[in-house]
């Protein structure tokens, strides 16, 4: 940021050179005397004194005090800009994650969730697979499933998945279902596993934000995670927020299902979703 403008003075004048020095390093005037400034400019002190008077100041001291005052003013402005940027980041964070939560919930079909809960609570063996943060969420789901006496296994890496495939028998096909969590559905491991499951006619519950993928279209059951644009700075984070919401809804809905009779179970997901929306509304007021 320029402190002084030099358009009025020619480049070979002392005034121009003083202004250049001010704009390059204004704080140098805090510690240096007029003689030291003159030495830097290869002129004498009287030339500096006359130059600042021609620039409109009463004296060198008046010039120096004015420059240092402007330096502090600029620091204050930058300090305020810093807080403005933090506030802007906070507002962006709130908006984009609220968008991810609202759009994910609005996009959910309660009937589809009930079918997924039917599959998970049907007595089949559940295999969960994800990479990175998705694997962490698979691990959390598996812990809750185990607590609810659901026969589930979290496959912590690709080789665990290969091991399951190597031990599969024909009768296992009808008695198992896979939950795959993947934001993009593009990694080689994810693609291989889905191709292998399709070849063996094993059902998949897919949780992803990639709605245009053929894997998404072909999955028996699917839940779409809604996020802001992929190029957005918050994309990675708000996709995790969406996944946390879905994971909580699944856990709560399954817990309700297992604790309710069949007649009451039909509305379990709808009630859980409604409770979350009401809580989210109050939280963001």
- Domains observed in the chain: 96-284 (3.40.50.10490)
**pLDDT per residue of the chain (285 residues) written in tens, 0 to 9:** 566 765 678 888 899 889 888 888 888 888 889 999 999 888 999 999 999 999 888 999 999 888 888 877 766 655 545 555 666 667 777 777 777 788 888 888 889 999 999 999 988 899 999 988 889 899 989 998 988 889 999 998 999 999 988 888 766 667 889 999 998 888 899 999 999 999 888 899 999 988 888 999 888 899 988 775 554 444 455 678 888 888 888 988 888 888 744 344 344 445 555 555 665 665 565
Do residues 222 and 177 lie in contact, with contact meaning Cβ atoms separated by under 8 Å? Answer: no
In angstroms, the CA 117 to CA 144 distance is: 14
Q: Name 222's bridge partners.
A: 206
Specify the pTM: 0.59
Q: In a 10 Å sphere around its CB, with 0-12 CB exposed, 13-18 middle and 19+ buried, how is residue 46 labelled?
A: exposed
Structure token pair of residue 5 = 């403008």
The conformation of residue 174, written as its DSSP 8-state character, comes to G
The conformation of residue 225, written as its DSSP 8-state character, comes to P
For 91-154, give the secondary structure using H, E and C.
HHHHHHHHHHHHHHHHHCCHHHHHHHHHHHCCCCEEEEEECCHHHHHHHHHHHHHHHCCCCEEE
Give me the long-range contacts of 12-15 (CB less than 8 A, separation at least 24).
Answer: 13/51, 14/41, 14/43, 14/47, 14/48, 14/50, 14/51, 15/51, 15/52, 15/54, 15/55
The conformation of residue 203, written as its DSSP 8-state character, comes to E
């Amino acid at each position: 940021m320029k402190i002084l403008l030099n358009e009025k003075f020619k480049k070979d004048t002392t005034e121009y050179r003083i202004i250049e020095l001010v704009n390059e390093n204004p704080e140098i005037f805090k510690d240096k005397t007029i003689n030291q400034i003159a030495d830097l400019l290869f002129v004498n002190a009287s030339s500096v004194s006359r130059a600042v008077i021609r620039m409109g100041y009463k004296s060198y001291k008046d010039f120096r005090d004015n420059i240092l005052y402007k330096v502090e003013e600029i620091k204050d402005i930058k300090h305020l800009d810093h807080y403005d940027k933090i506030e802007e980041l906070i507002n962006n964070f709130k908006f984009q994650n609220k968008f991810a939560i609202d759009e994910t919930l609005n996009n959910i079909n309660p009937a589809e969730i009930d079918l997924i809960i039917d599959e998970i609570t049907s007595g089949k063996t559940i295999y969960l697979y994800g990479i990175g943060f998705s694997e962490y969420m698979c691990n959390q789901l598996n812990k809750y499933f185990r607590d609810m006496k659901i026969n589930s296994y979290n496959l912590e890496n690709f080789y665990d998945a290969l091991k399951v495939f190597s031990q599969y028998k024909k009768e296992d096909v009808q008695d198992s279902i896979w939950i795959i969590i993947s934001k993009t559905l593009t990694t080689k491991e994810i693609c291989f596993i889905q191709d292998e499951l399709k070849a063996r006619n094993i059902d998949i519950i897919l949780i992803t934000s990639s709605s245009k993928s053929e894997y998404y279209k072909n999955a028996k059951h699917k839940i779409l995670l809604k996020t802001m644009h992929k190029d957005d700075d918050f994309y990675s984070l708000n996709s995790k927020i969406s996944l946390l919401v879905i994971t909580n809804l699944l856990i709560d809905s399954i817990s309700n299902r297992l604790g309710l009779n069949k007649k009451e179970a039909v509305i379990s997901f709808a009630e859980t979703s409604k409770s979350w929306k009401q809580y989210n509304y109050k939280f963001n007021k």
